[in-house]
Amino acid sequence: MFELKSLDAADKRELYRGLLEQAKALLRGETDPVANAANLSALIFHQVPALNWAGFYFYRGGELVVGPFQGHPACVRIALGRGVCGTAAQERRTVVVADVDEFPGHIPCDAASRSEIVVPLIRPGGELFGVLDLDSPEPGRFDTADKTGLEALADCYVATLETG
């Protein structure tokens, strides 16, 4: 049985190191991408402070389709290149937005969201699988430490796709 361990959020690098250890333990031995996305989104939502949404969009039929998440109901489908998620997916790079109102084409799924970070999920060989999306009600919530930590968590998730 997996046991959630409380992590110190004062040092983000330590927070993400601990979170990655927990994610590896949580995902170990499971290859179902939906089950792993559900558990990872819950882990992130409950361990990373100041979030109002954490979850996945999967690339299906040329667009992003909402997957497992924690938070308020979300937009179901997002076109590539549209909003923060669509931009990260299309450009295959992490996008950090300090103020979502300043991001051209932002899709306001939750009016409480003020900042956002989206990490693309890329399989070896460059195939887009989807994105990991986090929203916060705090402007400027995400920084380089979040980017590095969340990219490591995304890589951990993608590694489970390769074993399944």
Check residue 140 and give its pLDDT: 97
> CA 157, 122, 132 angle in degrees (round to 5)?
55
Check residue 5 and give its pLDDT: 72
Q: What is the pTM of this model?
A: 0.94
Residue 55 near residue 34, CB atoms below 8 Å:
no
Whether the CA torsion 130, 135, 140, 143 is positive or negative: it is negative
Q: Regarding the domain with residue range 12-163, which homologous superfamily does it belong to in the CATH classification?
A: GAF domain (3.30.450.40)
Confidence category of residue 127, pLDDT binned at 50, 70, 90: very high
* CB-side neighbour CA atoms (13 Å) of 49: 9
pLDDT digits (tens, 9 = 90+) for 35-76: 999 999 999 999 999 999 999 999 999 999 999 999 999 999
Percentages of the chain per state (helix, strand, coil), in multiples of 5: 40, 25, 35
Residue among 88, 141, 78 nearest 118 (CA): 88
**Domains of the chain: which residue ranges?**
12-163
Given a cut of 60, is residue 164 above it in pLDDT? no
